[in-house]
Each structure stands twice: as structure tokens, then as C-alpha cells.
Amino acid sequence: MAVKFTEEEINQYVGEQLRQFRKEKNLSQIEIAEMLGIRQAYCSSYEIGNRAIGIGTLVRLADFYGKELTDFLPKTRRDVAKMQAQRPQQPEREILTDLEKVGKFFDALAKKLDCHRDAELAEAIGIHASELSILRRGYRVPGQKLLERLSSVSGKSMKVTTSTFERVSE
């Protein structure tokens, strides 16, 4: 008799497998997102189990990790129970805090540079206003060149973390 799983159980189990396989290769969600040509937020949603991953994307990842598609799926109810017991709970507030950090960073930078509109701030850091809007909302993290520009303009060393960027030193 076939074992039946809910959609939520499958998404969570697949997400946990994605996280484990990524960590085995010492890769970040950002690196996986760039390889797949998607936003890092999608990788996070897949790993948390909030979003079902498309079969095409799963096939690409299976190939990349050297795994079979079945390696991503639960075989028994015990697999799901074990995963749920070990799975760390990530509160939604933590994600919001990261987005708040991004907004606060740009607010502080605008104040420091005496920019009263996003268009002025974007010009000051050498990007288009629409790109600044995307960065402020957390839809994209800055690339290395932009991080270097932000570091230079803000006077703070910057680094990319899982879903945002933060100051490293004053």
C-alpha cells in the first residue's frame, strides 16, 4: 500500500533535503539562486517548505547535487516525523527583521548623504532608482560591485548574508 503525504509534508521534507544538500556543498542560498537564475527569497521559501518547487528546478538541483529525484522525497511516515522533530522553526519575524535592516540601512545612508528622495540616493550610490526600490524591498541582494560602492559611500565594510547585507565594521 502506498504511503500518502500531505502537500505541506512533502514541501517541508523536500525543503529540508534541499537545505541539507546545499549545506553539504558549503553553498549559500544566494549562490544556488544565482545558479538557477531565481531570487534568493525563492530558495528560502523552498527550504522552509512555504513554496512547492517546480519539477524542472528539482531536476536541475538533483543533477547539480548528484542525487536522484527520489532522494528529495519521503519514503515513510517515519521520515516525515523525524524531519519535523529535527527541523528548526524559523519565525516569520526573523525574515521581517532582515528586511527592516535593509530599509534602515538605506534610510541611514540617505540621511548621511543628505538625500531627501530615493532618486537622489540612487544617483549618489550610482544605481537606477528602480534598482534601489528592489533592494529596499529585499527582492534582491546587492552584488559584489554594488557592495563595494555602498562600503565606499557609507564608510562601512559590507557583506552579504542569507537574505540581506549588514555592517561588518565601523
Task: Enumerate domains of the chain plus CATH numbers.
Answer: 7-86 (1.10.260.40), 92-169 (1.10.260)
Give me the chain's average pLDDT, please.
79
Rounded percentage of the chain residues whose pLDDT exceeds 70: 80
Tell me: pLDDT of 40 over 70: yes
Q: pLDDT band for position 161 (50/70/90)?
A: low
pLDDT of 66-118, one tens digit each?
Answer: 999 999 998 888 888 888 887 665 444 334 345 567 777 788 888 888 888 88
CB-CB contact of 170 with 154 (8 Å): no
CB-CB contact of 124 with 132 (8 Å): no
CB-based burial, 14-26: b 16+ in 10 Å, e otherwise: bbbbbbebbeeee
pTM here?
0.53
The C-alpha cell at 149 is 560602492
